[in-house]
Amino acid sequence: MKKERSQKNTIVRIKDIALKAAVSTGTVDRVIHNRGRVAEDVKNRVLKIIKELNYEPNLMARMLGSKKEYHFAALFPDHSYDAFWTAPKSGIEKAEQDFKQYNVFVEQYVFNPQDVKDYIKKATELTRKKPDGILLSPIYYKETLPFFEKWNADNIPFVLFNTQIADFDPLSYIGQDSYQSGLLAAKLAHYGNPDACSMLIAHIDEKISNAQHLVKKEQGFRNYFAQNNLDHKYKILNVELTRSSQSSFIKSLDTLIENTFDLKQIFVTTSQAYDIAKYLEQRHINHIKLIGYDLIPPNLHYLNNGAISFLINQNPKGQGYWGIYQLAEHLVFKKEVPIIKYLPLDVVTKENLNYFLDEKDQVFIEI
């Protein structure tokens, strides 16, 4: 005497399909996996019944017997050059952990972000290994395209994160809406400065030419004031700074501040807000408010002492996690994945910072 589970009638197995289609389970299996060796009409019949019965394969059973392994490759900058990248790395590892029960393995390829050659080298290495899926942050545009082409030809799905490249459509893009984050920054800047003043948009250490997202952030910031008919009230400047030489960095700021009337707000579009904060501290300037990006340690220091008012969190750990997640969804679970996945724009202050930090046991959640 068998016990039947209560939802027996609602659960459709391969066997049920086989029965209804008057074929063997082997045939149904062949249809499902496109293994060929099935007559066209039989195939269609089975397919139709699968749809009718709304068959959903039992993941447990599928994984159980299967020895299939999934090898993903993750290509992103070495965090020793930029602390930002520790977070994606940890997200990737968390996802690997979560999916290891499904035989998912992730190989990390980290490169020196200041060295195009290294980028190409690591990408080449990765490509040679023929992974089942690729997650990457394609910080070099031109150099990446040939790889996209190759992967497309090899039918290897790839997911982009943090930096978007629209050509050769990827399986998915994970990241932030830079334009929107510019709008958000402007809203905060406006909120904190009810009275007319000057504001500065500072791009530090990244060439605008190579970084479309910086442009978008600036556009967003400026458009907020335009859209709200505030551009007569606030004067918005912008500047590109580099930290290559400490003294020139300081000198540039000195002249900027000297020549700008009533500068009250600086919006740093990169994760280097702490550099400005440090400068302001050294110069004992405390009437200029700062908004920046990314919860990296030096930024947190100045967030906590009040030099930085807000940081916009790019959810870097989430980016890594979701990247692997999407690949798994697509390859392991054969689900459709959204072509674009924007992560929330988190406004972080000293008061809610804790919840965005990477506590071992803290959890991501999204709805």
Partner DNA sequence: CACAAATGCGTGTTCGCACACAAATTTAAT
Partner DNA sequence: ATTAAATTTGTGTGCGAACACGCATTTGTG
Asked if 5 interacts with a second copy (CB under 8 A), we say yes
Write the single-letter amino acid at 226: A
CB atoms within 10 A of CB 84: 21
Strand 172-175, strand 197-204: pairing? unpaired
Q: Work out whether 333 is an interface residue with a second copy (CB under 8 A).
A: no
Nearest distance from residue 64's CB to DNA, in Å?
A: 4
Whichever of 6 and 34 has its CB closer to a second copy, that residue is 6
Alpha helices in the chain, H assignment, sequence order: 14-21, 25-32, 40-53, 59-65, 86-99, 116-128, 141-154, 178-192, 212-227, 246-259, 273-282, 297-304, 316-331
Based on CB atoms, which residue is closest to DNA, 26 or 192?
Answer: 26
String of contacts with a second copy for each residue 246-285, x by CB under 8 A = ----------------------------------------
- Evaluate whether 182 touches 221 at the Cβ level (below 8 Å): yes
Find the binder of a second copy among 1, 64, 153, 166 (CB under 8 A). Answer: 64
Rounded CA separation 36/27 (Å): 9
CA distance 62 to 84: 38
Q: With CB under 8 A, what is the number of residues at the site for a second copy? A: 57
| Least distance in angstroms from the C-beta of 44 to DNA | 11
d(CA 316, CA 344): 11
Cβ atoms of 321 and 362 within 8 Å: the answer is no
Please identify, among the stretches 33-41, 208-216, 230-238, 358-366, the one whose residues bind a second copy according to the rule CB under 8 A. 358-366
Give the binding site for DNA (CB under 7 A): 1-2, 5, 11, 13-15, 22-27, 29-30, 32-33, 36-40, 42-43, 55, 57-58, 61-62, 64-68
Q: Is 340 in the site for a second copy (CB under 8 A)?
A: no
* Least distance between DNA and beta carbon 60 (Å): 7
Amino acid (one-letter) located at 325: Y
Q: Does 91 bind a second copy (CB under 8 A)?
A: yes
Is 365 a binding residue for a second copy by CB under 8 A? The answer is yes
- Tell which positions 298-327 bind a second copy, by CB under 8 A: 309, 315, 317-318, 321-322, 325
Record the tokens describing residue 243, joined without a space. Answer: 């930290």
* Dist. CA 283–CA 167, nearest whole Å: 46
Pairing of the two strands 340-342 and 172-175: parallel
Candidate ranges 29-37, 39-47, 60-68, 237-245; the one touching a second copy (CB under 8 A): 60-68
Question: What's the CA gap between 204 and 349, in Å, rounded?
Answer: 21
Task: Pick the closest to residue 101 from 69, 58, 134 (CA basis).
Answer: 69
CB of 341 to a second copy, least distance (A): 7
Residue 341 binds a second copy (CB under 8 A): yes
Q: Which does 180 bind (CB under 5 to 8 A by kind): a second copy, DNA, none?
A: a second copy
Ramachandran class of 15: left when φ > 0, alpha when ψ lies in -120 to 50, beta otherwise: alpha
CB of 190 to DNA, least distance (A): 55
Give the residue with the Cβ less far from a second copy, 109 or 221.
221
Backbone angles phi, psi at 47, to 5 degrees: -55, -45
| Residues of the shown chain interacting with a second copy in the complex, contacts defined by CB under 8 A | 3, 5-6, 58-61, 63-64, 67, 69, 90-91, 94, 101, 103, 180-181, 183-184, 186-188, 191-192, 194, 224, 309, 315, 317-318, 321-322, 325, 338, 341-347, 349-352, 354-356, 358, 361-367
